[in-house]
Amino acid sequence: MKNKSTRGLTLLGKGKTVYPGNPEQAVLESFPNPRSGRNYWIKLDCPEFTSLCPITGQPDFGRLTIEYIPNKLCVESKALKLYLVAYRNHGAFHEDVTNRILDDLVKAIRPRQARVTGEFNRRGGIAITVIAEHP
């Protein structure tokens, strides 16, 4: 049964999960913030994030942390998971991936504040951490 807070959510409760082939095909669904009158942080930890190196096509592994103070909307976690999985076949540098995820999150839910941290595993002896913030 759908109520006002779950109306528009299409990915939850489906028997079969369809994984998007790239970030453009993914949809960041949202639901109304149940405490929109208060500033509070939501932290989402994604320890198994994978994207592809745009030059070599080799996988890049890392931990992605998404933190935000919601305004009117919160991101739905299954939709976020499917959105992030779409990067497994997407070639981009760490800096671009991290900033794009922040841009897409801001576009989808318009948070009061947001931070995306990408901590990418060592390749060639160097680990890279990228932190993108809004505003």
In terms of Cβ atoms closer than 10 Å to its own Cβ (0-12, 13-18, 19+), residue 111 is: buried
Cα maximum dimension of the chain: 52
Task: Quote the tokens at residue 76.
Answer: 């739905």
Identify whether 46 is a catalytic site residue: no
Catalytic residue among 45, 60, 103, 104: 60
Helix H or strand E segment including 57: none
| CA geometry: angle 117, 81, 61, nearest 5 deg | 50
Identify whether 45 is a catalytic site residue: no
Catalytic residue among 45, 53, 74, 96: 53
Let me know: does 102 contact 116? Beta carbons within 8 Å: yes
Catalytically active residues are 53, 60
